[in-house]
Structure 1
Amino acid sequence: MPAPRLSDRDPHVDADELIGALVPPPRFDDVRFATYVPNPDEPSQAAAVRECQAFAERVSGAGERGWLGSLFRKQAEPGKPGLYLDGGFGVGKTHLLASIWHAVPGPKAYGTFVELTSLVGALGFPETVRRLSGHRLLAIDEFELDDPGDTMLVTRLIKELTAAGVAIAATSNTLPDKLGEGRFAAADFLREIQSMAAKFTVVRVDGPDYRHRGLPDAPPPMSDEELVAKAESTPGATLDDFAELCARLARLHPSRYGRLVDGVTAVHLRGVTPAPDQAVALRLVALGDRLYDRDIPVAVSGEALSELFTPEMLNGGYRKKYLRAVSRLVALSR
């Protein structure tokens, strides 16, 4: 029997579901500070655990009047209402961010930068602020600085929410391939959110990408025949022609990509080619994030997943985003 196609799915998500879905990805359901294993060669990792634990304790103790009310009520209490984890790919920043979220009592929300911009696009800015302003914590994974419009949007959202007493914890990825280059990410972050930069503590997390420690490169693509056979023999798997799936993603709001792959056990893509343009590439990044969130394996024919983005794209303004996507998709393809 032919495997079903993602391209045939038409998921719908209402406003309450969008807010309710703002939780850590399933792969981080069980992570806690105690399960983070710092690299002994990277002392910043153990220090980051301590900083994050202290932040979570302060937010948890803020009480019903909110973090800012608690902070100003107890002038001697150290710390700031914002925490920013600065570091490269695969050093455990998301593990630490999810651990903060698990340690803080609700109401609370957790989402990637892209998910938040999609939420505002789906609900509108005033409604998003209204629904989140009663929360104790908003955790933002993968804060992105490559789109000025989106950065300003989320910066404004952070400003509105911190004014309402919501604590903010955020992460961002920096480039791993140049020794000093990543060090500018924290400065970039604080500059972009300059209206509230003084409210953020920056915590550095150094180290190599754990996803690639001692692991092989992306497996070679399958033949079309091998891919079809694998998809049809895997319960719950899907099989799509790459070009058709790209066309389907163009007609689907990114806030629905998670629902698109819910319940799927493995994704098979036939005839993969490099993304033809930036719009397609960015949709593939968003889809890749949702697959990674759910730990859904990916198998392909055609080009290898490491070739999904052209050299021009990898050298352009969205370089960090594409490198993160390659890192995650390659991990899913092993």
Structure 2
Amino acid sequence: MTVQSAYQTAVDAGTLTTDDAQLAVLPELERVRAALATPLPKRGLFRKAPPPTPGLYMWGGVGRGKSMLMDLLYDQVDAPKRRSHFHAFMQWVHTEMTEARKRGVDDAIAPVAAKLADEVRFLAFDEMQITDITDAMIVGRLFEALFAAGVVVVTTSNRPPDDLYKNGLNRQLFTPFIALIKDRMVVHELVSDTDYRQDRLAGKQSYFTPNNADARAAIADIWDHLSNGKSAPLVLHVKGREVDLPGYHNGVARAKFYDLCGRFLGAADYLALAEAVRVLILEDIPTLSRSNFNEAKRFVTLIDALYEAKVQLICSAAAAPELLYVEGEGTFEFERTASRLREMQSADWGT
């Protein structure tokens, strides 16, 4: 089935609404599908390799349907393929490189690229973004090898290629990768006035208290609605540390308070989290006081990062924002956090 036919089938079934911005990118998605449907010619002494199929870099604001469109393409591709969140993919790359070094390999990137090229013809990445200097130094050589091997890459991102790793350390070493993207992939901006993810949350409660069975059931219902019943853990690597998100799908993450505030995490970790997700479901926020002062400080830092990045927050808590922290050092400073929690519940938050 062509991508256009699959899109129309979803519209007819009522699971999608026709969107002009989405319709505009369907020919590019179909171009990729059709190319991957063509068997690779057998290699011979006098046979030239076919010209490489350009990939697709699809970027635009959150909630515009980028991941949905990539999934639509992925489902129609009948070729060896792999799909993952970009952070999860880079986690796998680091693991494979570590294993290669244990085998005494000098260039640990080469065997990783060779393994991928041997296993897949199509790689689909959700939410490409570079926040770590180590990743920035790896992706250029890795993708160059994949492109040379004929692997077709389609990725989504919230930002144009020129804004990747913006203001990052030694960014001049990363800019050749940006040029490579522009040379080997079609860059398409998905321009739409509609934020479908925001629409799915419009008018819905986002702060649940008290933290009882009703709150847990409501949170579970929202998670099932936003994740479409699909999720997998996501690990973010930040300056040698790991930020674990137990549940993740399509820009929506789910974690408990102590997953994020009970560990030795700091501002850099929460900023990376805010870059990686557009909706965070945070459960079991307790009352805060001098007895859990360190956790409270981390919570304040987390909320600041989410607030500045305009991340949608859905949470369950032991008390209303103004009553979460009522005694002990830091109560005055927490007033700003309570105010932000209130603001983040507004209907137009994140728009």
Normalised by the size of structure 2, how large is the TM-score? Answer: 0.55
Residue 205 (str. 1) matches residue 190 (str. 2): yes
1:278 to 262, 268, 273: 268
Rate the CA distance shift 1:102–1:71 in 2: closer, same or farther, 3 A: farther
Shift of residue 186, structure 1, vs aligned partner: 4.1
Shift of residue 92, structure 1, vs aligned partner: 0.8
- For 2:67, the equivalent position in structure 1 comes to 94
- For 2:24, the equivalent position in structure 1 comes to 47
Shift of residue 280, structure 1, vs aligned partner: 4.4
Shift of residue 257, structure 1, vs aligned partner: 5.2
Larger Rg: 2
Shift of residue 219, structure 1, vs aligned partner: 3.4
Unaligned runs of at least 5 residues, structure 2: 98-108, 165-174, 222-236, 288-298, 317-344
Residue 112 (str. 1) matches residue 85 (str. 2): yes
2:202 to 191, 211, 216: 216
1:139-158 equivalent positions in 2, closer than 5 A:
139-158=124-143
Residue 138 (str. 1) matches residue 115 (str. 2): no
- For 1:160, the equivalent position in structure 2 comes to 145
Aligned partner of 2:211: which letter? Answer: L
Secondary structure (helix, strand or coil) at the match of 1:105 reads coil
Q: Which has the higher contact order (CA 8 A, sep 6+)?
A: 1
Alpha-carbon displacement from aligned partner over 1:40-67 (angstroms, at most 9, x marks no partner): 4xx332111222112211122152669x
Preserved contact between residue 84 and residue 201 of structure 1 (Cα < 8 Å)? yes
Q: Distance in 1 between matches of 2:185 and 2:124?
A: 13
Shift of residue 301, structure 1, vs aligned partner: 3.4
Q: Distance in 2 between matches of 1:199 and 1:221?
A: 44
Rate the CA distance shift 1:188–1:279 in 2: closer, same or farther, 3 A: closer
1:1-334 equivalent positions in 2, closer than 5 A:
32-34=6-8, 35=10, 37=16, 39-40=18-19, 43-63=20-40, 73=50, 80-124=53-97, 125-134=109-118, 135-174=120-159, 185-188=160-163, 192-195=177-180, 197-207=182-192, 208-213=194-199, 215-216=201-202, 219=205, 221-223=207-209, 226-230=210-214, 269=257, 276-282=266-272, 299-301=283-285, 309-311=302-304, 322-323=309-310, 326-327=311-312, 330=314
Preserved contact between residue 84 and residue 125 of structure 2 (Cα < 8 Å)? yes
Normalised by the size of structure 1, how large is the TM-score? Answer: 0.57
Paired residues, what number?
249
Q: Distance in 1 between matches of 2:305 and 2:273?
A: 17
Aligned partner of 1:33: which letter? Answer: Y
Rate the CA distance shift 1:272–1:84 in 2: closer, same or farther, 3 A: closer
Shift of residue 122, structure 1, vs aligned partner: 1.5
Shift of residue 300, structure 1, vs aligned partner: 4.5
Preserved contact between residue 86 and residue 203 of structure 1 (Cα < 8 Å)? yes
Rate the CA distance shift 1:166–1:217 in 2: closer, same or farther, 3 A: same
Preserved contact between residue 272 and residue 302 of structure 1 (Cα < 8 Å)? no
Shift of residue 210, structure 1, vs aligned partner: 0.7
Shift of residue 128, structure 1, vs aligned partner: 2.8
Q: Distance in 1 between matches of 2:241 and 2:212?
A: 25
Q: Distance in 1 between matches of 2:93 and 2:259?
A: 34
Over the aligned positions, Cα root-mean-square deviation in angstroms equals 4.8
Preserved contact between residue 159 and residue 196 of structure 1 (Cα < 8 Å)? no
Preserved contact between residue 271 and residue 302 of structure 1 (Cα < 8 Å)? no
Secondary structure (helix, strand or coil) at the match of 2:156 reads strand
Shift of residue 173, structure 1, vs aligned partner: 0.6
Aligned partner of 1:204: which letter? Answer: E
Q: Distance in 1 between matches of 2:86 and 2:53?
A: 21
Rate the CA distance shift 1:121–1:90 in 2: closer, same or farther, 3 A: same
Shift of residue 136, structure 1, vs aligned partner: 0.8
Alpha-carbon displacement from aligned partner over 1:194-249 (angstroms, at most 9, x marks no partner): 135322111221123211127436735344xx325458889x99xxxxxxxxxxx9
Shift of residue 33, structure 1, vs aligned partner: 3.4
Aligned partner of 2:116: which letter? Answer: L
- For 1:178, the equivalent position in structure 2 comes to none
Rate the CA distance shift 1:33–1:232 in 2: closer, same or farther, 3 A: closer
